[in-house]
Amino acid sequence: MDTILVVNAGSSSVKFQVFSVEGEGRLRRQLKGQMDGIGSRPRLRASGANGDPLADRAYPIETVPDVPAAMGVAGEWLRDELRIHPIAVGHRVVHGGPEYDRPVLIDHGVVARLERFVSLAPLHQPHNLSPIRSILAGFPTLPQVACFDTAFHRTHSAVADHYAIPHQLHAEGVRRYGFHGLSYEYIAKTLPQTAPGVAKGRVIVAHLGSGASMCALKGGQSVESTMGFTALDGLPMGTRPGQIDPGVVLYLISERGMSASNVQNFLYRDCGLKGLSGVSNDMRELEASQDAKAKLAIDYFVYRIGLNAGMLAAALQGLDAFVFTAGIGENSASIRARVGEQLGWFGVKLDPTENSRNARLISRPDSLIPVYVVPTDEELMIAQHTLALLVNTPSTNPRQERVS
């Protein structure tokens, strides 16, 4: 069986999925797993396509000190115990910089170019690149594909891509990139089946997960995003503040004496729903809490989604459909109901019954704007890109070398 391995590596975990290649290039998910607690309490967990447990085992800390070691343990488990020898590996890479507007087959030159973008995403890019390097060293002819969170947004106009700062900084790469591109691309690709009447129109997609952003789609292409230079901007998130006056950062430095790395940690880890509520970064816990600050955090989240919807509708010059996706967007009927109220002035009317059962179409027939819930699948998007590049690049022979 031909399989594709999808890898999403972060600072303390490596998530992976395996897809089998079926007839006519269709892909079927075989398993999901992750090595987490890297460098602290390493643990391998995996489950099959139906959620059946395949592995749950702890490792001594010294055997999994870093991401390459974690990739090594996961790879060994796949090869030696499950006899899975992928024909290619697709990687989620957060930053493709200004140049990559689509996935790319990886070689040493590509890795060197992607290293240049480490300064644009210092918390993510090095970890994304590290399993790529270790696989390149161990299995040099195994095709690897980098799929970028920024690529889908490279269709933005110059005016949407700029900050009002001197041009030299834009040339250096200080631009409004936008992120969650693989999620938005998946939604744009599948929307014609869910909502054929509006998929080619003006659509706002709200990706509401631990990371959250919104994207304006016109004709299936991204024209605007709430995220910018980094994944800190836009909506409040689990632990990131979203839009914030840069003056706050100056205050933290000048009045609180915080260093650059303190500010970085603060903005990525201590703000957002967690910082505002003082209770949790997890929406389920906030919804269950009686704490007034948890309520304020939810109110703020919903309010900012409404504000940003207005901004994106202005970018689109109208609105034909609104889509919810990701952990909160797909599962929280109460957040969707609250957002639906915020969007009431657009003529949005949600159907409480359809909303409570997480139906695909959750708006009433008399709603001026139809509202959908579409589960996202970034890993499938990566597997599809990887297979497409493999098939369309004559020099990559899938059967030439497998991980063995």
Residues annotated as catalytic (active site), given as ranges: 149
Question: Segment contacting ligand AMP (CB under 6 A): 12-20, 49-57, 117-125, 321-329?
Answer: 321-329
Of residues 3, 125, 15, 143, the one with CA closest to residue 71:
15
Interface with ligand AMP includes 242 (CB under 6 A)?
no
DSSP element (H, E) containing 338: helix 333-342
Cα distances (angstroms) measured from residue 295 to each of 114, 230, 276, 292 = 41, 27, 10, 5
Q: Which amino acid is located at 66 in the chain? A: D
Of residues 17, 30, 34, the one with CA closest to residue 147:
17
Interface with ligand AMP includes 326 (CB under 6 A)?
yes
Are 382 and 388 within 8 A, CB to CB? no
Interface with ligand AMP includes 328 (CB under 6 A)?
yes
Interface with ligand AMP includes 283 (CB under 6 A)?
yes
Alpha-carbon gap, residue 83 to 79, rounded angstroms: 5
Q: Which amino acid is located at 341 in the chain? A: E
> 92: annotated binding-site residue?
yes
CA 25 to centroid of chain Cα atoms? 24
Are 27 and 41 within 8 A, CB to CB? no
Choice from 209, 236, 242, 340 touching ligand AMP (CB under 6 A): 209
Beta carbon of residue 233, minimum distance to ligand AMP (angstroms, whole number)? 17
Interface with ligand AMP includes 332 (CB under 6 A)?
yes
Phi, psi (degrees; rounded to nearest 5) at 335: -65, -40
> 341: annotated binding-site residue?
no
Alpha-carbon gap, residue 74 to 372, rounded angstroms: 37
| Residue at token pair 């390493």 | 42
Question: Segment contacting ligand AMP (CB under 6 A): 23-31, 77-85, 278-286, 291-299?
Answer: 278-286
Count of residues that bind ligand AMP according to CB under 6 A? 12
Question: Segment contacting ligand AMP (CB under 6 A): 223-231, 283-291, 298-306, 387-395?
Answer: 283-291
Beta carbon of residue 229, minimum distance to ligand AMP (angstroms, whole number)? 21
3-state secondary structure of 180: coil
Interface with ligand AMP includes 331 (CB under 6 A)?
yes
> 95: annotated binding-site residue?
no
Beta carbon of residue 209, minimum distance to ligand AMP (angstroms, whole number)? 2
> 379: annotated binding-site residue?
no
Interface with ligand AMP includes 8 (CB under 6 A)?
no
- Interface residues with ligand AMP (CB under 6 A) are 209-210, 238, 282-284, 287, 326-328, 331-332
Binding site for ATP, by residue number, is 15, 207-211, 282-284, 327-331
